[in-house]
Amino acid sequence: MPVIEMLSKTGEPQRIGKLELTPMNQVLKIQFPGDHGGLIWNRPKAVVVRSDDGQEQILPVTDVTRVAIWAMLAGGILGAIIMGLTFRRRQPETEE
């Protein structure tokens, strides 16, 4: 059975002026049995911004390209399904 792991990691904090930035990433790790290979999907998750006065803000890193691609593909498949269903409903009328 492949081992599937989902991890969140934080990187080295970077300081600029009064702010401290800590990058965070998310890793999906799939390891094939017997150490015979695997798959790693590593992507940025968020940036934690800490100010000297103690305020903390989490800025999510959104992958706009991926969101747009999935939205378009989902729209295309959904559109095709709706068209197919509409056609099936109309089919008896045309046969008469």
Contact flag: residue 56 with another protein (CB under 8 A): no
Contact flag: residue 75 with another protein (CB under 8 A): yes
Alpha-carbon distance of 30 to 5, in angstroms, equals 6
Output the six-digit token pair for 13: 């904090």
Alpha-carbon distance of 47 to 49, in angstroms, equals 6
Among 2, 4, 11, 56, contact with another protein (rule: CB under 8 A): 11
66 Rama class: left (phi>0) / alpha (psi -120 to 50) / beta: alpha
| Site residues (vs another protein, CB under 8 A) | 7, 9-12, 14, 16-17, 19, 21, 23-25, 27, 29, 32, 35-44, 47, 49, 57, 59-65, 68-69, 72-73, 75-77, 79-80, 83-84, 87, 91, 94
